[in-house]
Amino acid sequence: MFYSIQELVERAKDYPTIGELMIATEMELTDRTREEIIALMERNLEVMESSIEEGVKGVTSVTRITGGDAKRMNEYIESGKFMSGETILKAVRNGIAVNEVNAKMGLVCATPTAGSAGVLPGVLMAAREKLDLTHEEQIDFLFTAGAFGLVMANNASISGAEGGCQAEVGSASAMSAAALVAANGGTPEMAANALAITLKNVMGLICDPVAGLVEVPCVKRNAMGASQAFISADMALAGIRSVIPPDEVVEAMYKVGRAMPQIFKETAEGGVATTPTGLRLQKQVFGEPEKVTV
């Protein structure tokens, strides 16, 4: 077991990959066999693939507030007129697709939460195409992400209700960045730096869901998280280091989350949730609140 990013980096030296360290940790914590643990992760991968496929075809949320953006992004990519890199845009498309499926009450894999479920699959599927990852390498990618996510969950938070969206989409983006570095041949130290760079760039991000639903601005925040993961990974692979050590960044995120007012922690009482349009959409979905008489 490891309890910090530094411990993770040090212990990874005894294993072929960070993913293998995580598998050994899971075996230790759950008493499951290696085969059982890998089978569970393979099921997660299947759900990720199917949710992206479904979302890209075009879906609409139960409330009809969101939907169809993954399909629009796919058509935009196919037009060839985009200004960003194709791999990043495919990750963005995939991330949107998963969260649109989530908004229609479809099946997604929480990575680490349902609200941030699009980031990691979005990055992985785009990286799979770019790096020609084998099935085994994709599974290793997911275990690597899980290793870094375990540390953040234990030392900070992955919950928007506890630490704001920095803890939810931010953690998902950081996990993805670290796994992306490893998948592209980077060292565990580089992966850790990618995590730190990501968290610093989303530090203080609030959780302000319109009408309390995981739709606005959540779907597009998954797009942001997926794109940030690629930028952070490339920075780390270029040899750029975080001046603030990764564990100190994780601690800072925890402290920021603790200090964040409740209105910015998934309560729909601040941010875009309280804009005129946000309030109108809330009434559209739930109707006028009942008046209490005494």
Mean pLDDT calculated for residue range 86-91? 98
pLDDT in tens, 8-42: 999 999 999 999 999 999 999 999 999 999 999 99
pTM, whole model, 2 decimals? 0.96
Confidence of residue 288 (pLDDT cuts 50, 70, 90): confident
Position 171 pLDDT exceeds 90: yes
Q: What percent of the chain has pLDDT over 90?
A: 98
Residue type, 191: A
pLDDT in tens, 232-268: 999 999 999 999 999 999 999 999 999 999 999 999 9
Position 294 pLDDT exceeds 90: no
Rounded Cα gap, residues 261 and 239, in angstroms: 36
